[in-house]
């Protein structure tokens, strides 16, 4: 049972978050993700990155990253790496994380975007119900 859900922007890199974040990333991606204290430090020290953590009864149960930059066509904000522990999905934790990101994005200003695989049916429904509109585009990727 989830009694107390708290969402906050992580402001300091602490070792206690590394294990829980690794566990969440393993649920998000089938690819191996290397996540270290150095990675966390880089995230939280950047003024262009906001890492939101959800805790349930004091334990990390979800996260979301909001990143932004200025392009010639204006400020772009991206929601990345949204994940809620699989044992706690369907309890509006993801919705709360997205709402926090949208509020922060409104403070910053610009165009807020995200991508989601079509197979992530619940996530796509969440994004549509949160006010996001599907954009017809192709996403390309290159590991460098």
Q: Structural domain of residue 44, as residue ranges? A: 5-129
pTM comes to 0.93
- CA of 138: how far to CAs of 20, 58, 86, 115, 133, in Å? 32, 39, 28, 10, 15
Contact 58, 22 (CB under 8 A): no
The answer to the question of residue 76 being in a domain is: yes
Domain count for the chain: 1
Domain-embedded: residue 66: yes
User: What is the predicted pLDDT for the residue at 104?
Assistant: 98
* 106 domain residue, yes or no: yes
63 in a structural domain: yes
Structural domain includes residue 134: no
Q: How confident is the model at residue 78 (pLDDT cuts 50, 70, 90)?
A: very high
Average pLDDT over residues 88-94: 95
| Consecutive H or E run containing 132 | none
Average pLDDT for 18-22: 97
141 belongs to a structural domain: no
Instruction: Grade residue 4 by pLDDT with cuts at 50, 70 and 90.
Output: confident
**27-71 residue pLDDT tens:** 998 888 899 999 999 999 999 999 999 999 999 999 999 999 999
CATH code of the domain containing 29: 3.40.630.30
Q: Does residue 120 lie within any of the structural domains?
A: yes
Q: Is residue 135 part of a domain?
A: no
Mean pLDDT of the chain: 95
């Amino acid at each position: 049972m989830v009694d107390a859900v708290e969402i906050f922007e992580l402001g300091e890199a602490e070792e206690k978050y590394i294990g829980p974040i690794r566990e969440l990333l393993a649920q998000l991606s089938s690819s191996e993700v290397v996540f270290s204290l150095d990675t966390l430090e880089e995230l939280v020290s950047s003024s262009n990155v906001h890492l939101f953590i959800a805790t349930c009864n004091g334990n990390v149960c979800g996260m979301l990253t909001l990143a932004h930059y200025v392009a010639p066509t204006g400020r772009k904000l991206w929601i990345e790496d949204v994940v809620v522990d699989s044992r706690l999905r369907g309890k509006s934790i993801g919705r709360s994380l997205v709402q926090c990101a949208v509020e922060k994005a409104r403070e910053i200003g610009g165009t807020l975007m995200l991508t989601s695989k079509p197979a992530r049916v619940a996530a796509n429904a969440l994004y549509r119900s949160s006010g996001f509109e599907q954009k017809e585009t192709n996403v390309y990727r290159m590991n460098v």
